[in-house]
C-alpha cells in the first residue's frame, strides 16, 4: 500500500471511522459506484454510506456525477474518490497537527504538573493540586510533581519531524563517518 493511499485511508478513518475506510477501498477497487452499490459491496446501510459520502465530499475527497434515467426520470449519483487535492489536504492536516503540538508543548513547558502515579488518573496543574490539598481527588493518594521531560522531548521530536516534512525546517546535517579532518596539527606541520 502506497504512502498516499495510507494517508487517504487515515483521513477517511478520521472522517467516518472503519466504515469510511471500507467505502474508500470499495470505490478505489470499483472506480465509480452509486450509494446503493456501495452499500451492497460493503454491507453498510445505505443511509450510513450516504452520510459518509457526503462527509468525504465536504472534505473534497470524493466527487460524483449525476445521470438522469430517461425512462424513470430519476437521477443516479455515481461516486468516485477524488485525489487531485489530496496533497493539499494532507498538508493542511499536518499544519493543524503542528499547531496543536506547539500548543501542547507550550502548555507542558509553562506549567508544573502533579500526579498520584495512577496512569488512569489525570495530571493536575499546580493550581488544581493546591485546590485539592495535593491529594488526588479520585484515589486520595498524595500528589507528586510530575516529570514531563519525556513528554516535552517527544513533542519537540514530533514537531521537528513535521516541520521537516512540511519544508519549514531543513533536515539535520549528518556527519560523514570515516573521513579525517583536513586540518593538520601543529606538530605535523613542523616536521
Domain limits, the chain: 7-83, 92-166
Residue/partner pairs of 30-39 with CB below 8 Å, 24 or more apart:
31/80, 32/65, 32/78, 32/79, 32/80, 33/78, 33/79, 33/80, 34/76, 34/77, 34/78, 34/79, 35/77, 35/79, 38/79
Q: Name the phi and psi angles at 79, rounded to 5.
A: -95, 150
pLDDT of residue 103: 98
Residue 182 pLDDT more than 90?
no
pLDDT of residue 59: 92
- Distance (Å, rounded) from C-alpha 83 to C-alpha 2? 13
pLDDT (tens digit per residue) in 24-38: 999 999 999 999 999
Average pLDDT over the chain, rounded to whole? 91
Contact of 57 with 27, CB cutoff 8 Å = no
Contact of 56 with 62, CB cutoff 8 Å = yes
Residue 184 pLDDT more than 60?
no
pLDDT (tens digit per residue) in 36-60: 999 999 999 999 999 999 999 999 9
In the 8-state DSSP scheme, what is residue 111? -
pLDDT of residue 5: 85
pLDDT (tens digit per residue) in 57-79: 999 999 999 999 999 999 999 99
pLDDT of residue 178: 57
Residue 1 pLDDT more than 80?
no
Statement: the pTM of the whole predicted model exceeds 0.85:
no
pLDDT of residue 46: 97
How far is CA 179 from each of CA 8, 174, 176, 183, rounded to the nearest angstrom? Answer: 43, 13, 7, 12
Residue 143 pLDDT more than 80?
yes
Sign (positive/negative) of CA torsion 166, 96, 119, 156? positive
CATH class of segment(s) 7-83: mainly alpha
pLDDT (tens digit per residue) in 109-127: 999 999 999 999 999 999 9
Ordered DSSP codes for 41-88: HH---HHHHHHHHHHHHHTTSEEEEEEE-TTT--EEEEEEE--TTHHH
Output 135 or 183, whichever has higher pLDDT.
135
pLDDT of residue 179: 55
Amino acid at each position: 500500500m502506497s504512502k498516499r493511499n495510507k494517508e487517504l485511508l487515515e483521513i477517511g478513518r478520521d472522517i467516518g471511522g472503519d466504515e469510511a475506510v471500507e467505502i474508500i477501498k470499495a470505490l478505489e477497487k470499483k472506480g465509480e459506484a452509486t450509494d446503493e452499490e456501495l452499500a451492497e459491496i460493503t454491507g453498510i446501510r445505505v443511509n450510513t454510506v450516504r452520510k459518509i459520502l457526503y462527509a468525504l465530499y465536504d472534505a473534497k475527497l470524493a466527487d460524483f456525477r449525476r445521470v438522469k434515467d430517461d425512462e424513470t426520470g430519476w437521477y443516479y449519483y455515481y461516486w468516485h474518490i477524488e485525489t487531485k487535492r489530496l496533497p493539499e489536504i494532507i498538508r493542511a492536516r499536518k499544519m493543524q497537527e503542528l499547531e496543536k503540538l506547539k500548543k501542547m508543548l507550550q502548555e507542558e513547558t509553562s506549567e508544573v504538573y502533579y500526579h498520584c502515579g495512577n496512569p488512569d488518573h489525570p495530571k493536575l496543574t499546580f493550581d488544581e493540586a493546591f485546590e485539592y490539598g495535593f491529594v488526588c481527588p479520585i484515589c486520595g493518594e498524595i500528589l507528586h510533581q510530575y516529570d514531563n521531560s519525556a513528554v516535552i522531548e517527544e513533542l519537540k521530536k514530533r514537531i521537528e519531524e513535521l516541520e521537516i516534512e512540511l519544508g519549514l525546517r531543513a533536515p539535520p546535517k549528518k556527519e560523514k563517518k570515516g573521513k579525517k579532518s583536513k586540518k593538520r596539527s601543529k606538530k605535523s606541520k613542523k616536521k
